[in-house]
Amino acid sequence: MSTATVKTPRPAGSPGPDAGTPPVKPGVDEGRIGLRANLRHIGALVRRNALQIKQDPESMMDALLMPIVFTLLFVYVFGGAIGGGKGGSRDDYVQYLVPGMMGMMSMSIAMAVGTGINEDFRKGVMDRFRSMPIARSSVLIAKSLVEVGRMLVAIIVLLTVGILVGFDVNGHWLGMLGAIGLTALFGSALLWVFIIVGLTMRTAQAVQGISFLVLMPLQFGSSVFVPTGTMPGWLKAFTDVNPLTHVADSARGLMLGQGEVGSPVMWTVIWSVGLTLATAPFAIAMFRKKT
């Protein structure tokens, strides 16, 4: 003989048995995630991005080969002519070029983050993050930390090649470390700019095109490759406010002990902090809206 189970009707508006269990929502609000959990998420995502580089070593080709190619190109193709035009030699030009190219390397590596973000959306990687209970900012912060690591690799390769072709810091080792840190600070600020570009453009090709339009005037309209004293007045006015000029002059002053140091360092820090404060919150807001 079976016994029928009679369910007692629940009054309208009363909570059900699962009322105390909140539904699981993809894309947890960052305000609900504690600092320790956020740091743990960032660490896990940094490891994930590092493993991607390990599985795809070709993604490090720009950081490893670009410093070598650009250094050898400018030293041996243009070094004699530019060095002679400055009243010196190729060796003198090496001393001028290598510190200036540190800022150029940071900018070129930062450009890649925009392409990477855009491709992650296209491949559906961000769809997986959307369903995970992690802070949206942790994805971008982890990506930025890995790219800063790639910048440091590129700068170390640049300095190694520079030393092989005759660059000498003349004992300013602490200054060299300061220049590396300052360059990484500036590069980390640029990362957020290119993240915004990657989130805005529809394709990776468009990201690359826009990024090169930004890079070329900043790189060649600066003191990275040549002194700005012989430039036309209108161009020199641009180079004087170009942040890459401040980075290059800071690196030369710290590594060689030549020229003014205080003002370029100050302006490099101002540009770096200002760009980060202006673009990082906007990039995170765009990313949260898109995911």
Side-chain half-sphere CA neighbours of 103 within 13 A: 31
Q: Is the dihedral of CA 75, 111, 176, 229 positive or negative?
A: positive
Domain locations in the chain? 34-290
Look at residue 3 in the predicted model and tell me its pLDDT: 45
Q: Is the pLDDT of residue 291 over 80?
A: no
Q: 3-class DSSP state for residue 131?
A: coil
Q: Tell me the chain's radius of gyration from C-alpha atoms.
A: 25
Q: Are 83 and 89 in contact (CB under 8 A)?
A: yes
* 126 has a pLDDT exceeding 50: yes
Contacts of 166 (CB under 8 A, 6+ apart): 90, 91, 94, 95
Least confident of 1-10, 61-70, 231-240, 250-259: 1-10
DSSP code string of 13-38: T---TTTTSPPP-SS--GGGS-HHHH
Has residue 136 got a pLDDT over 90?
no
With 90 as the cut, is the pLDDT of residue 116 above it? no
